[in-house]
Amino acid sequence: MPETAMKQYGDSLSVKYPVVELQNTTVRFGDKTVMDAFSFSLQQGEKVTITGRSGSGKSTILRCILGFITPTSGAVFIDGEKLSDYSVWKLRSRIAYVAQEPDLGSGKVRDIIKRPFLFRVNAHLRDNMSRLDELFKRFLLSPNLMEADSADLSGGEKQRVALISAILLERKIFLLDEVTSALDSKSKRAVVGYFKFRQDISILSILHEPGNEDFADRIIDLDSITPRSEI
Amino acid sequence: MSAENISMFNLAVAYLLLIFPLGLMLWYGIPGVGKMLLAALRMTLQLLFVGFYLQVVFNLNNGWLTGLWLLIMIIVADLSIIRNCRLKLKRLGASMFIALLLGTAIPAFFFLGIILHLPKILEAQYAIPIVGMILGNCMRSDIIGINSFYRMLRKDEKSYLLSLAQGATLSEACRPYLRDAFQAALAPMTATMSTVGLVALPGMMTGVILAGADPVTAIKYQIAIMLAIFSGTAITVFAAIRLSMRSSFTGYGILDRGVFRE
């Protein structure tokens, strides 16, 4: 095969497409503009970290993508499909979301991790529970914690349990909201190492303080790209 | 044998019983004296009005008139639920009405048409008190159920949103809250059923005995009405929550706080 043809063939293999796109998205709560005509795209396999001061609208971006907030104007696309009250139910099932302070609900950790498999859309993934031991080990969690009550977990343990729960759902898009904020440096390395290793997923992560996230291909600082008091 | 009549003078004497709560409230400075007196006055006027009206309805014994009265009772209960749950009438009034209608009509039809086997279901003497008992209990349970459902949803918003993010449908994400609300709404009736007769003689049984029937007949009525009430409350609470969900969530499955009067 000629060299140019090989190059073209190689390029076509690595063609990336946006898995998440925000187009001129504006979010207003009453008089307050939280996000002003914000455009952004996350390519397939890309890992992007968004940073910015408190109140800059970082979490609002994730909430818009999940359909928890309906933008005042603009549009959100997941895998090229516009988020609407019809499509949102299907598109959410392509995303894994981990909140900064995850509310796991009450009960045993193992039961909490099992819970999403009760939803019809995840029922076929039930066997993934067999990966629990491996993931607990990987994220430096004691296997005894599986039988513990969620109320007895520390903030860092909760974050890792929420991450494991998200990983077991086999989504291709991860939205991570400051998921390492309560972790010690060793656990943080384990989490960052895992996501760095995963080439098959796209990650949009939120970070209050830049510089600690090692898996990001691209960092967007909201403070530097938006007018004051808006994103 | 029929119930002994109470003369108007003796009825007025009954108000002397208010001396005890009134005295205690005044002595200890417990607020709400005015509210209590107003409630007693309202109770008197409402019951006098209903008494006179029922006399007319019973004498005429017209199915349409009885039906109209039952409809008014359901509308009043509907408005009471909307007010007590601090909901917006325009948004949820119809859902609550349909739930009450279902929860009352199904067990009432069963009771009047099948158990009592009345030739005319809307016979005023039976239909009005039976529907009234079922409806009153449905209303109380509905207030507990609806309040519990929406309060827990608001309190546990993060957990609810996590379920949505994990791919749950609206119905799947709401299931734990519906389950808890249902349990809370039915708990008082379950407790009443398990202690009935031991702690107190229930209202219907007392009424039937006072009217001159033998205790065994009274017990049969009581068992049937308790089953009808239990069934009615379950239907009402379930239907009220499920029907209200259609108006109280956005198309994205987010609780629309605009349905509440804050």
Q: Is B163 on the interface with A (CB under 8 A)?
A: yes
Please give the share of chain A, as a percent, with pLDDT higher than 70.
Answer: 89
Mean pLDDT along residues A94-118: 91
Contacts of A105 in chain B (CB under 8 A): 156, 159, 162
Per-residue pLDDT, A2: 41
* Average pLDDT score over residue span A123-138: 93
CA pair distance B260, B262, nearest whole angstrom: 6
Complex-level ipTM beyond the 0.85 threshold: yes
Which residue stretches of chain B have pLDDT < 50?
none
Is 70 exceeded by the pLDDT of residue A185? yes
B158 to chain A, closest Cα gap in Å = 6
For residue B158, give the nearest of A84, A96, A99 by CB distance.
A99
Predicted confidence band at A230 (pLDDT cuts at 50, 70, 90)? very low
pLDDT band for position A10 (cuts 50, 70, 90): very low
CB contact under 8 Å between B251 and A84, yes or no, is yes
Interface contact flag, A89 B169, Cβ < 8 Å: yes
- DSSP symbols for chain B: --PPP--HHHHHHHGGGGHHHHHHHHHHT-S-HHHHHHHHHHHHHHHHHHHHHHHHHHHH--HHHHHHHHHHHHHHHHHHHHHHTTB-HHHHHHHHHHHHHHHHHHHHHIIIIIIS--SSTT-HHHHHHHHHHHHHHHHHHHHHHHHHHHHHHHHTHHHHHHHHHTT--HHHHHHHHHHHHHHHHHHHHHHHHHHTTTS---HHHHHHHHTT--HHHHHHHHHHHHHHHHHHHHHHHHHHHHHHHHHHB-TTS-B-GGGB--
Size of interface A-B (CB pairs under 8 A): 69
Angstroms from A111 CA to nearest CA on chain B: 14
Candidate from B159, B166, B251 with C-beta closest to A85? B251
Which residue in A62, A65, A85, A125 has the most chain B C-beta atoms within 10 A of its own C-beta, making it the best mutation to test that interface? A85
Confidence of residue A4 (pLDDT cuts 50, 70, 90): very low
Contact A92 B164 (CB under 8 A): yes
Is the pLDDT at A88 greater than 90? The verdict is yes
B180 vs A contacts (CB less than 8 Å): none
- pLDDT category of residue A62 using cuts at 50, 70 and 90: very high
Are A86 and B251 inside 8 Å of each other by CB? yes
Band of pLDDT at residue A12, cut at 50, 70 and 90: very low
A82: pLDDT strictly greater than 90? yes
Q: Is the pLDDT of residue A167 over 90?
A: yes
Q: Is the pLDDT of residue A77 over 50?
A: yes
Contacts with B156 from chain A: Cβ below 8 Å: 103, 105
Q: Which range among A49-63, A142-156, B17-31, B143-157 shows the weakest confidence by mean pLDDT?
A: A49-63
When pLDDT is cut at 50, 70 and 90, the band that residue A5 belongs to is: very low
| Cβ contacts of B155 on chain A, cutoff 8 Å | none
Q: Which residues of chain A neighbour B246 with C-beta distances below 8 Å?
A: none
Over the stretch B27-49, which tens digit does the pLDDT of each residue have? Answer: 999 988 999 999 999 999 999 98
Predicted pLDDT at B112: 93
